[in-house]
């Protein structure tokens, strides 16, 4: 008996049937979406625009408004894609699409692209002073400080001024070491907005550039009185503390940066440097480990960690780091000599000699490079030295942090057919009675969901195509026992079904899920000791939980063999692979689930989490964007925090 095809039942504000697609009034949906957008109901608007695009895939207006919604939700990658689709058509919103896309590109760090787009808008609106200020910020980010100042002056010539204008011009002047004029502009910004935290921080940074560190501290303190979670103020205050030889205060400030932004690689790096200087080698190595978890190709962190490992006599670890350095950037001459020195300590004289010779050769090659080659190397070094540092001022506090984890496994429940007869039993797939929280993907129990079936968000499978009342009776018994959390008894019923029909995919699927649920339920009630068994022959301790997960994995493998296009078997198997720390295998299974069901939002969401934790931030954010687009609103909370 095979598992028949299923479909997701969308229960949203605008329920519709697939057969009715051609009858939809997409213009009415578009108008409602615009109203939702105006009322800031971005999630509802996206869902309606998604319907419009399914009915009319080339609707550039729907792409534009969906891009705007994603812009307001800080889903920058998703917004850029939708706005690009809108721009690909000549339409009435063309100028606005370029404008929004320029801001999105700026947020994504594509400053050259942002300038190209804003230029298109300025060509159409040459007398709009705000556009020149926007372009000035992008020019400033590309290092064109003089162009930034020129654009700010252009805005002023159009009889317009703003806090941002003076902030931008002051920042540009500060980079050119025009500190006095920069201070004048920052103070003008404060006159216009006395509560502008950025202005206080920029004044502090300007004083620091003038080596007036005490004055700088006063400005950072003012900023922190207004926002006690301002990581940019803490970071810069740490630098001023260090210049004033107050290492204790500097470390405390870096600790606060990390407290509010635990993914700030630059803060870990600076703290590691300080700890190394205070002979706290193990702490420093641990911080460089964190830097490299966030930025695996950062050569500065690798170099410092290698040097520290050599100091603590972890010679093999140091050699590995120097080798990685050389692999990333072959012209890192110091790495050859340092690696050779360690090999000499280890009496590997031949290896040491080879490294010293390689160092000399690479030094000569580097010296003989032409200007073009040096420029390419400079760009490479900038990339390999970059560190994540999403500094903020007032837009994110600790209370905004979000707990996330893999969306729970799916399982089968009976759907009441109101007939009172066994007959064919429709079944539903529904999320497992357990949620996991914590960004580290830990298994902390929260409120249990109801096991009872409801229509909302359920996934319906057509009736089982088997007339055997006996098999159906076992299935009904098994599911009812599952609902009562009698998982062992339910598994026995599934065993009976499989004994009668070794090709029953539903029974394998449900048994695999119940094995997982039994483990999670017992873990929830701290019954770990029941799972630990001693092998009397060898005296080894084994964990029965792993055995149950392995059995579940075998069941899901069987389902996939019987039903290779059953998306939820891949989805649930990914959960098991994650439990076994096989992140790559889990990612592959979520990908298979998506290929078989492109509308499975949870699969995009879970794959995004795992991609994020394996440092593939760009693809992770794309998955969160798609999950949000498909109605999983939690994805936008993650995008807001981590997809800048």
Q: Work out whether the CA dihedral 531, 537, 539, 540 comes out positive or negative.
A: negative
Q: Return the pLDDT at 610.
A: 87
Res. 219: pLDDT tops 90: yes
Give the percent of the chain with pLDDT over 70: 75
Tell me 12's DSSP state.
S
Token readout for 393 is 């001022």
Closest CA relative to residue 629, chosen from 88, 96, 42: 42
Burial 236-252 (b: 16+ CB within 10 A, else e): bbbbbbbeeebeebbbe
Token readout for 266 is 């630059």
Q: Which residues contact 339 (CB under 8 A, 6 or more apart)?
A: 318, 319, 322, 323, 326, 355
Res. 441: pLDDT tops 70: no
Residue with structure tokens 């299923």? 6
Q: Which residues contact 453 (CB under 8 A, 6 or more apart)?
A: 413, 414, 415, 416, 428, 430
**Average pLDDT for the chain:** 78
Q: Return the pLDDT at 420.
A: 40
Say what the alpha-carbon torsion angle 515, 516, 517, 523 is, to the nearest 10 degrees.
110
Alpha-carbon distances, residue 583 vs 306, 441, 577, 608 (angstroms):
28, 12, 7, 11
Q: What CA–CA distance (Å, rounded) separates 641 from 43?
A: 17
Question: What CATH code is assigned to 410-597?
Answer: 1.25.40.10
3-class DSSP state for residue 261? coil
The pTM for the full model equals 0.69
Res. 117: pLDDT tops 90: yes
Count of CB atoms situated within 10 Å of the CB of 548: 22
Farthest-apart Cα atoms in the chain, separation: 88
Question: What CATH code is assigned to 6-108?
Answer: 1.25.40.10
Res. 527: pLDDT tops 50: no
Q: Return the pLDDT at 20.
A: 36
Count of CB atoms situated within 10 Å of the CB of 190: 19
Res. 24: pLDDT tops 50: yes
Which residues lie across from 413 on neighbouring strands?
A: 428
Relative to beta strand 427-431, strand 6-8 is unpaired
Q: What CA–CA distance (Å, rounded) separates 242 from 333?
A: 30
Question: What CATH code is assigned to 296-389?
Answer: 1.25.40.10
Alpha-carbon distances, residue 64 vs 83, 93, 420 (angstroms):
5, 8, 51
Closest CA relative to residue 37, chosen from 25, 28, 49: 49
Q: Return the pLDDT at 397.
A: 32
Res. 539: pLDDT tops 50: no
Res. 424: pLDDT tops 80: no
Give the pLDDT confidence of 352-381 residue by residue, as tens digits. 999 999 988 888 877 777 766 666 666 666
Count of CB atoms situated within 10 Å of the CB of 212: 15
Q: Return the pLDDT at 549.
A: 86
Which residues lie across from 459 on neighbouring strands?
A: 8, 429
Q: What CA–CA distance (Å, rounded) separates 139 from 568?
A: 48
Q: What CA–CA distance (Å, rounded) separates 164 from 236?
A: 21
Closest CA relative to residue 548, chosen from 561, 532, 525: 532
Q: Return the pLDDT at 481.
A: 77
Q: Return the pLDDT at 375.
A: 65
- Do 639 and 625 contact (CB within 8 A), yes or no? yes
Give me the mean pLDDT over the 576-583 stretch: 86
Res. 170: pLDDT tops 70: yes
Residue with structure tokens 């399982």? 411
If pLDDT is split at 50, 70 and 90, which confidence band does 92 have? low
- Do 15 and 24 contact (CB within 8 A), yes or no? no
Q: Which residues contact 149 (CB under 8 A, 6 or more apart)?
A: 136, 169, 172, 173
Give the percent of the chain with pLDDT over 90: 44
Q: Where exactly does CATH 1.25.40.10 map onto the chain?
A: 6-108, 296-389, 410-597
Give me the mean pLDDT over the 611-618 stretch: 82
Give me the mean pLDDT over the 303-325 stretch: 94
Q: Which residue has the higher pLDDT, 447 or 126?
A: 126
Q: Return the pLDDT at 182.
A: 96
Give me the mean pLDDT over the 28-54 stretch: 88
Alpha-carbon distances, residue 29 vs 18, 23, 40, 343 (angstroms):
16, 12, 16, 70
Q: Where are the alpha helices (DSSP H) in 25-162?
A: 26-38, 42-55, 60-72, 76-87, 94-108, 111-124, 129-141, 145-157
Res. 637: pLDDT tops 60: yes
CA angle, residues 76, 232, 242, in degrees to nearest 5? 145
Q: What CA–CA distance (Å, rounded) separates 11 from 14?
A: 8
């Amino acid at each position: 008996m095979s598992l028949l095809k299923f479909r997701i039942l969308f229960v949203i504000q605008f329920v519709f049937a697939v057969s009715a697609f051609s009858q939809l009034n997409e213009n009415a949906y578009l108008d409602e979406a615009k109203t939702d957008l105006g009322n800031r109901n971005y999630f509802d608007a996206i869902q309606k625009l998604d319907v419009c695009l399914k009915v009319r895939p080339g609707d550039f207006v729907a792409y534009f408004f969906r891009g705007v919604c994603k812009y307001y939700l800080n889903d920058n990658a998703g917004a850029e894609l939708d706005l690009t689709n809108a721009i690909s058509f000549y339409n009435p919103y063309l100028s606005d699409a370029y404008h929004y896309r320029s801001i999105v590109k700026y947020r994504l760090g594509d400053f050259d692209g942002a300038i190209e787009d804003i230029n298109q808008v300025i060509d159409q609106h040459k007398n709009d002073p705000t556009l020149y200020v926007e372009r000035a910020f992008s020019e400033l980010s590309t290092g064109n400080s003089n162009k930034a100042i020129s654009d700010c002056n252009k805005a002023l010539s159009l009889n317009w001024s703003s806090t941002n204008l003076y902030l931008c011009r002051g920042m540009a002047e500060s980079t050119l070491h025009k500190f006095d004029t920069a201070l004048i502009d920052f103070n003008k910004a404060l006159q216009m907005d006395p509560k502008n935290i950025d202005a206080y921080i920029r004044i502090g940074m300007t004083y620091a550039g003038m080596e007036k560190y005490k004055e700088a501290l006063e400005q950072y303190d003012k900023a922190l009185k207004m926002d006690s979670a301002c990581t940019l103020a803490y970071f810069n205050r740490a630098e001023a503390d260090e210049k004033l030889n107050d290492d204790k205060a500097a470390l405390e400030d870096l600790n606060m940066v990390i407290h509010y932004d635990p993914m700030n690689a630059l803060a870990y790096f600076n703290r590691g440097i300080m700890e190394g200087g205070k002979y706290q080698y193990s702490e420093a190595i641990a911080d460089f480990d964190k830097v490299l978890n966030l930025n695996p190709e950062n050569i500065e962190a690798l170099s410092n960690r290698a040097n520290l490992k050599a100091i603590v006599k972890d010679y093999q670890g140091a050699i590995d780091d120097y080798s990685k350095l050389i692999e990333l950037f072959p012209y890192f001459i110091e790495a050859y000599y340092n690696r050779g020195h360690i090999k000499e300590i280890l009496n590997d004289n031949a290896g040491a000699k080879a490294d010293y010779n390689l160092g000399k050769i690479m030094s000569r090659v580097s010296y003989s490079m032409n200007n073009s080659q040096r420029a390419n190397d400079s760009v490479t070094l900038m990339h390999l030295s970059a560190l994540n540092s999403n500094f903020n001022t007032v837009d994110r506090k600790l209370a905004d942090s979000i707990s996330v984890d893999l969306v729970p496994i799916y399982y089968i429940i009976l759907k009441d057919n109101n007939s009172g007869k066994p007959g064919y039993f429709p079944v539903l797939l529904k999320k497992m009675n357990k949620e996991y929280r914590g960004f580290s993907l830990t298994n902390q129990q929260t409120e249990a969901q109801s096991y009872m079936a409801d229509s909302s968000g359920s996934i319906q499978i057509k009736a089982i195509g088997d007339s055997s009342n006996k098999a159906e009776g076992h299935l009904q018994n098994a599911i009812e026992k599952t609902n009562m959390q009698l998982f062992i008894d339910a598994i026995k019923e599934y065993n009976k079904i499989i004994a009668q029909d070794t090709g029953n995919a539903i029974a394998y699927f449900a048994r695999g899920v119940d094995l997982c649920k039994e483990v999670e339920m017992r873990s929830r009630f701290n019954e770990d000791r029941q799972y630990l068994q001693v092998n009397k022959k060898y005296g080894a301790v084994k964990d029965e939980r792993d055995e149950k997960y392995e059995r579940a994995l075998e069941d899901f493998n069987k389902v996939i063999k019987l039903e290779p296009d059953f998306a939820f078997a891949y989805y649930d198997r990914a959960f098991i692979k994650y439990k076994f720390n096989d992140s790559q295998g889990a990612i592959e299974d979520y990908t298979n689930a998506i290929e078989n069901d492109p509308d499975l939002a949870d699969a995009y969401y879970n794959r995004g989490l795992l991609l994020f934790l394996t440092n593939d931030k760009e693809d992770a954010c794309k998955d969160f964007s798609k999950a949000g687009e498909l109605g999983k609103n939690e994805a936008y909370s993650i995008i807001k925090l981590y997809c800048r």
